[in-house]
Amino acid sequence: MTRVLIITGDPVAAAMAGPAIRAWNMALTLQGAGHEVRLVSTTRAEHPAPPFPTFRVAAGDERGIAVHERWAEVVLFQGYATTQFRTIARTNRMLIADVYDPMHLEMLEQGRELPPATWALRVSTARDALNDQLRRADLVLCASERQRLFYLGQLAGLGRLSPTTYADDPDLRGLLAVVPFGLEPVPPVADAGSGMRGVAPGIDADSRVLIWGGGLYSWFDPLTLIRAVAVARARVPRIRLFFLGTRHPAVDEMGIVRQSFDLATELGVEGREVVFNDTWVPYDSRGAYLIEADAGVSTHHVHVETTFSFRTRILDYLWAGLPMVVTEADGFAELVEAEQLGIVVPANDVDALADALTRVLSDSPEVEQWRANVARVRERFVWSAVLQPLLAAVEHPRRAADVTPGRDGMGVGARAARTAGFGHAVRMTLHHWRAEGISGVSSRVRKRLGRS
């Protein structure tokens, strides 16, 4: 048995988003394998019935995190833990960095709506924090072979691909392992009155429902999808597009949410063919919505974030047995095409997307074959299967070959600045003062107080 501390920056509560869901299921699987687990959130730990100890430790609370670090034999973290806690950066425990979400690439899109100086700061902060993790980690976890190639390049640039790490591990799987996002082994079941049909406006037993699982973010393209639904309604009179969640539990609402609502209103489909759920569905309740859908959809723009993304909502579609329509150019589009799980469409093409929606909502043998293929592929992604590299590492914890005991990071290059504590707060205040003036500082203070 190994004592494992897992740290996430996302809220651990009834309503959880991707990072917390992943951390939660890692904890469940490790506990099921006989290990002792603690789950720490730097934001909220309010799950009503956690099956393992959960804690909240605010970013920068060194005394708070030190209690758990001393207890642990392995520390696994997501996000900014090494720049939020010196205790984690300097730990002599086995350190596992879960970088399934390339946060520096995500910030290129997420920060678009910010003032230029703040956008640049967000990207550089994420980049430096990620490089810091890659220098320090004994094991790095990514989500796909495509991501693995990307991170191998980044590790090479940081000096981690060396004779020391290569000698006894020439494929470097002991340093960088593929651990995709997973799904529960038992598919969801219908639960009358708990999902969309007969509950959400305009969605009843006869509706042909497309579901958009997860949130609305700026790197997605819901606008082309809404336009395509407006075109397809002439061919599929009962077509409905349901956006599962628009209010993320940990991320401020992005402008694309309002743009989507405004476009649906302009096209006359809002509240009819297009329905927005203006809350965030609890994690344990999402299956009731998914199982009532006829197909899953995910549309995005083509850019570097797309290339290395791992769309966790696609796994929910697999879990619920849904054929799907997805945009080209990411890793899951390759899977959908190779395994014939649905239709892959060009980016930003309304007509091609409308045709695809019409096909996926038909009662054709083609759709039945897609459903059968989804059921077959689903088994590859159950949590117990995808977490095998993590289970093996935790069973026999070890330090990376290039680790020096008591070190403060490895590799080459400048160290990342702290992202928590008084010094960080002062740096951010000065930045926003220079970039946006007193109004920018006041706005952020009000927002922070509102969260508190």
Q: How does pLDDT run across 199-236, given as a tens digit for each residue?
A: 888 899 999 999 999 888 877 899 999 999 999 999 99
Residue 385 pLDDT exceeds 70 = yes
Write the CB contacts of 63 (distance below 8 Å, at least 6 apart in sequence). none
Whether the Cβ atoms of residue 172 and residue 145 lie closer than 8 Å to each other: no
Average pLDDT of the segment spanning 388-400? 96
Confidence of residue 254 (pLDDT cuts 50, 70, 90): confident
So what's the pLDDT on residue 131?
A: 95
User: Is residue 170 domain-shared with residue 229, that is, in the same domain?
Assistant: no
User: Is residue 28 domain-shared with residue 122, that is, in the same domain?
Assistant: yes
Instruction: Give the integer Cα–Cα distance in Å for 8 and 434.
Output: 31
Instruction: Give the integer Cα–Cα distance in Å for 123 and 105.
Output: 8
Residue 30 is which amino acid? L
**Domain termination site, one of 355, 381, 407:** 381
User: Is residue 328 domain-shared with residue 309, that is, in the same domain?
Assistant: yes
What are the pLDDT digits (tens) for 313-337?
Answer: 888 999 999 999 999 987 788 899 9
So what's the pLDDT on residue 443?
A: 66
So what's the pLDDT on residue 301?
A: 87
Residues of the chain above pLDDT 90, percent: 67
Residue 194 in any domain: the answer is no
User: Is residue 44 domain-shared with residue 133, that is, in the same domain?
Assistant: yes
What is the C-alpha R_g of the chain? 22
- How many domains are contained in the chain? 2
Q: Round the average pLDDT of the chain to a whole number and report it.
A: 89
Average pLDDT of the segment spanning 432-439? 62
- Provide the domain limits for residue 70: 3-182+387-420
User: Is residue 344 domain-shared with residue 225, that is, in the same domain?
Assistant: yes
User: Is residue 405 domain-shared with residue 292, that is, in the same domain?
Assistant: no
Taking residue 329's Cβ as centre, other Cβ atoms within 10 Å add up to 17
pTM of the model: 0.81
Residue 200 in any domain: the answer is no
Q: Tell me the angle at which helices 255-266 and 222-232 cross, rounded to the nearest 10 degrees.
A: 20
User: Is residue 125 domain-shared with residue 240, that is, in the same domain?
Assistant: no
Residue 335 in any domain: the answer is yes
Mean pLDDT: which of 23-32, 278-287, 295-304 is highest? 23-32
Residue 189 in any domain: the answer is no
User: Is residue 408 domain-shared with residue 316, that is, in the same domain?
Assistant: no
Write the CB contacts of 80 (distance below 8 Å, at least 6 apart in sequence). 9, 59, 129, 419, 420
Residue 445 in any domain: the answer is no
Measured torsion, CA atoms of residues 330, 333, 339, 343, in degrees rounded to the nearest 10: 180
- Residue (of 17, 13, 4) closest to 251 by Cα position: 17
CA angle 438, 441, 444 (to 5 degrees): 150
Residue 442 in any domain: the answer is no
What are the pLDDT digits (tens) for 152-183?
Answer: 999 999 999 999 999 999 999 999 999 999 99
Residue 125 is which amino acid? T
CATH of the domain at 412: 3.40.50.2000
What are the pLDDT digits (tens) for 397-435?
Answer: 999 999 765 444 444 444 566 666 656 666 655 665 565
User: Is residue 274 domain-shared with residue 410, that is, in the same domain?
Assistant: no
Confidence of residue 113 (pLDDT cuts 50, 70, 90): confident
Helix (H) or strand (E) run with residue 103 in it: helix 103-110
Residue 110 pLDDT exceeds 90 = no
Residues of the chain above pLDDT 70, percent: 87
Write the CB contacts of 246 (distance below 8 Å, at least 6 apart in sequence). 215, 216, 253, 257, 276, 277, 278, 279, 280
User: Is residue 314 domain-shared with residue 350, that is, in the same domain?
Assistant: yes
What are the pLDDT digits (tens) for 9-25?
Answer: 999 998 898 899 999 99
| 372: phi then psi, degrees, rounded to nearest 5 | -65, -40
Token pair, residue 448, equals 């922070």
Residue 343 pLDDT exceeds 90 = yes
